[in-house]
Amino acid sequence: MNLSELQNGQEGVIVKVKGHGAFRMRLMEMGFVRGKFVKAIKNAPLRDPIEYQILDYNISLRRSEAKYIEIITKEEASKLDMDNYHGVITNDILKLSANKKRKTINVAFVGNPNCGKTSIFNWATGSFEHVGNYSGVTVDVKKGTFEQNGYTFNIYDLPGTYSLSAYSPEELYVREHIFNETPDIVLNVIDASNLERNLFLTTQLIDMDIKVVAALNMFDDLKRHGDYIDYDQLGTMLGIPFVPTVGSKGHGIKRLFDTIIEVYEDKNPKLRHIHINYGEEIERSIDSIEESLKGLNDLGIKMSPRYIAIKALEKDKKLLSTLESKEIYKDLLSKIRKEIERIESKCNEKSEVLIADAKYGFIAGAVKETFKESPKNRRRKTEMVDTIITHRLFGIPIFLFFMWIMFQATFSLGSYPMNWIESGVQLLGNALNSAMPDGMLKDLFIDGIIGGVGGVIVFLPNILILFFFISFMEDTGYMARAAFIMDKLMHKIGLHGKSFIPLIMGFGCNVPAIMATRTIEDRNNRILTILINPFMSCSARLPVYILIIGAFFPEHAGTVLFSMYAGGILVAIISSRLFKKYLFKGKDTPFVMELPTYRIPTMRSTLRHMWHKGEQYLKKMGGIIMIASIIIWFLGYFPRETDNAEKYEQKIVQISQHYDQLMKNASGNEKAELQKKKEEQLSSIVVKKEKERQQNSYIGRIGRWIEPALRPLGFDWKMGVSLLSGIAAKEIVVSTISVLYQANDSGNNKAQLIENMRNDTYADGTKVFTPLVALGFLVFTLIYFPCVAVIAAIKNETGSWKWALFTVVYTTSLAWFLALLIHQIGKLFI
């Protein structure tokens, strides 16, 4: 708990003192040192300030100051596992409890996009967070915990950001996290191969006057290029310890967290607070504004006054807005404006530009003293590759070729392991069919669970291959090039290159892709990107594509699969143009995106990411898809009897008796022929009986109720029910089809399912599924209602149900209209 929560007469032991350096030092000088006993004496009449007793004397603190002192009381200590101690909590035991609690260190990871924060996070915590060689992968804080040398680390992977201004959501998010959560240590992860650019963020952390440790990540790249950096000397100059790391391979991670412990315990010799010199005129204005900040009280406690003064001179609107409620706001604002006018008139330059120039001057000086670049051009290979990859004529064809290769491999390479899994599912179905007695339970296991879940799990290899390619392109840096290549096209549809990354991520899953739009500064562009993202074919749609394409377009499988993804992109482009023209009018936002050097990703990181997605898919199998399969099976299984059931039974008896009578007087060959005819007629009757039973089942009634709306598209009630079930998750479309088409098939294999779909007919004998109907079904699946999770993500990211409901209506309407066009126009030619 915090000291401000201590009740009158209650006692505790100080665990740690938080806040910026000068404030923390002032509290410690007053006696508020960790391990010391403190007692709340009384509150002032208005509950502020509070009088405390510490080191045999009384002292008062404002509540806003006391909340930065973490303590532990006897009540809290009794809840800790102190070697199963159950006696009276003595002062010695309380101190031991405080020491144990003090050994929990909160660390915030801060760094530029693409600096490798998440790689270090994954190695330290054993997590499986996505690592990508492009900006904007981390769009929210991720928390992990691990232990080292008796200390527990709570680490927070914050969004990548180039600075701590308030120009973008991620910049503001990181800054607010540091000020509101007051981490014990900020770990500044730096790309060692891009020192000058990365150190700009470091200078802002120095201004904050907080405890910082720097990780010189990707240090192997720096050495490979023949560069040299004296990181010990750099750390001494900046007052921050630097530790070389290779996050992708785990090198230097232990040493890094050992250094964090040293800094936390104030035992690192390099740790000191320095002031970056901004030049005589700016320093004079900083001092003047700092003097006026003395009346700010709580804000001056939360942030270093020097930092507030610097941000004020940078015209930081967000920070200035936090001052509006203060009594001194008008006088302070007047003072800030006067100082800005004085600086700009004297230096003939914007104040924020002068501060940025001073920072880069400071960085250049530090780098010149400590860094030696290899005489060879370190980006030569990257530039050589980029002359081809990002060529204005060849760039887009190469990108499309890569996409085609990915989808072709997804279908062709995935067919081998898919057949193995399919055989395993079939063996399991056959084993249960032989082992279990006939009845409802057997039907549930074979037709419901194995038929439904098994019908979807066979597509796991295809999902893994797709994610392997996407992960590889992200990790190498090619995905950032794809955004660069597509920037001009993005502008033509009213977006910019930054929108391309969330759209490509949508091929994996639309939910994190929609969350990734947080990196887009302009709100209109952000919402527009969210609205067209569901048209990107997520991996959940892939099983539907593979099933239908394998059944009706096997000779052109890879091309048709590629066409589905390309079709989604085309629909997104057209929709974006219309939305931009009528819903989101405005100017385009300038596009700036880093093109990182190409890197060969470790197979470990690529496979780890691929398997993480596969693991999520498997969890879906045992969760929502299994439940949905059981529900669908139940709705299709009951009621068991129909009005014409007796008529069918009588027909079966009549046919059996008729052929049995004929076979009595027949020869051997004639008997075989008669037996064959008997089986064919009986099979035909059984199929008709089962079709009628299905149509009168609960799910058949639901399907027939929505069938009139789908008949113009060429869809029957089974397709309608499948699409309806896909609202929960698109994979359930396949499990529903599997359950409906394999109700009487014990094999439960994909080949039999495809055969049943191809042979399904209406009462007049016409085929239910034709290539034309199959194409319309694919397009409908591509475009209609995204899953419930996507709708929830749209609501959360836009802050309104308006856009979520709009997405439901316009995607489903568009899907119906396009499927109608395909079927009605297609019938004219086919």
Summarize pLDDT for 331-388 with one digit per residue, the tens: 888 888 899 999 888 888 888 888 888 888 888 888 888 888 775 554 566 667 777 7
Summarize pLDDT for 443-473 with one digit per residue, the tens: 778 776 776 677 667 767 877 887 788 777 7
Summarize pLDDT for 76-103 with one digit per residue, the tens: 777 665 445 555 566 666 677 777 777 8
Residue-level pLDDT at 129: 58
Contact, 776 vs 715, CB < 8 A?
A: yes
Contact, 313 vs 328, CB < 8 A?
A: no
Quote the DSSP letter at residue 251: B
CB atoms within 10 A of CB 572: 22
Report helix, strand or coil for 797: helix
Q: What is the mean pLDDT of residues 216-242?
A: 88
Percent of the chain with pLDDT over 70: 85
Query: How far is 698 from 707, CA to CA, in rounded Å?
Result: 14
Quick check: 642 pLDDT over 60?
yes
Query: How far is 276 from 123, CA to CA, in rounded Å?
Result: 34
Three-state DSSP string of 343-389: HHHHHCCCHHHHHHHHHHHHHHHHHHHHEECCCCCCCHHHHHHHHHH
Higher pLDDT pick, 50 / 85: 50
Indicate if the alpha-carbon torsion angle 95, 100, 102, 103 is positive or negative.
positive
Summarize pLDDT for 404-425 with one digit per residue, the tens: 887 778 767 877 887 788 788 7
- Of the candidate ranges 154-163, 244-253, 692-701, 803-812, the one whose mean pLDDT is the lowest: 692-701
Q: What strand order describes the sheet that includes 142-148? A: 142-148, 151-157, 104-111, 185-191, 212-217, 242-244
Query: How far is 367 from 200, CA to CA, in rounded Å?
Result: 12
Residues composing the chain: 830
Quick check: 260 pLDDT over 50?
yes
Report helix, strand or coil for 55: coil
Contact, 730 vs 681, CB < 8 A?
A: no
Residue-level pLDDT at 591: 46
Extract the tokens encoding 616.
Answer: 């999520």
Report helix, strand or coil for 774: helix
Task: Kindly report the average pLDDT of the chain as a whole number.
Answer: 80
Contact, 552 vs 560, CB < 8 A?
A: no
Summarize pLDDT for 722-753 with one digit per residue, the tens: 888 788 778 778 877 877 786 444 444 677 78
Summarize pLDDT for 571-605 with one digit per residue, the tens: 988 898 888 888 877 655 544 455 666 667 667 76
Q: How confident is the model at residue 715 (pLDDT cuts 50, 70, 90)?
A: very high
Range 346-357 burial, b when 16+ CB lie within 10 A, else e: eeeeebbebbbe
Residue-level pLDDT at 810: 93
Query: How far is 830 from 821, CA to CA, in rounded Å?
Result: 14
Q: What is the mean pLDDT of residues 1-24?
A: 83
Peptide bond into 639 cis (omega under 30): yes
Helices 557-582 and 395-412, interaxial angle, to 10°? 130
pTM: 0.61
Q: What is the mean pLDDT of residues 419-440?
A: 83
Report helix, strand or coil for 747: coil
Query: How far is 708 from 705, CA to CA, in rounded Å?
Result: 7
Which of 315, 321, 323 has the alpha carbon at shortest distance from 354?
A: 315
Q: How are beta strands 371-372 and 228-229 bridged, if at all?
A: antiparallel
